Amino acid sequence: MATEPKRQEQRRRPRNRVCWPVIVEVDDRLLHGETLDLAAFGAKIRLDEHLVEGTVATLHIKPPQDPPLDLEAIVWRTDKNGCVFFFMKAAPTGLQSHPELPASL
């Protein structure tokens, strides 16, 4: 039985695995979840509720020992383990103080 060749990483920017609490604000609803990974232009978030692609939301991400990040984002894709959000503006550079994230974030 032949195995499939390993897919090459095609992302232009690295993603960083972090597990931080997040509140996703959609219309008048507040959904609680956690980040699965984070990059300068987006995040994957585990939520109990399914969101439709194209949904606009405000993400309130809480890094440890820092004030929350409030980011406008759009649901880019939904996978079985979470929603991928694309930030409408790049994440603030203040995240560079976290050792788990590269200085390029």
pLDDT one-digit tens code per residue, 2-42: 565 554 445 555 567 899 999 999 999 999 999 999 988 89
Spell out the SS3 assignment of 31-73: EEEEEEEEECCEEEEEECCCCCCCCEEEEEECCCCCCCEEEEE
Give the number of domains in the chain. Answer: 1
Q: Is residue 56 part of a domain?
A: yes
- Assigned domain for 30 exists: yes
Q: Is residue 103 part of a domain?
A: no
| Inter-residue contact 41 to 90 (CB < 8 Å) | yes
**Residue 4 domain-assigned?**
no
Over residues 70-82, the mean pLDDT reads: 95
The number of helices, as runs of H, and strands, as runs of E, in the chain is 0, 6
CATH of the domain at 32: 2.40.10.220
Q: Is it the case that residue 102 has pLDDT exceeding 50?
A: no
According to the model, what pLDDT value does residue 103 have?
Answer: 44
The confidence score (pLDDT) of residue 75 equals 98
Model pLDDT, residue 16: 77
**Residue 37 within any structural domain of the chain:** yes
Whole-model pTM: value is 0.76
Tell me the residue range of the domain where 44 lies.
21-96
Residue 62 maps to a domain: yes
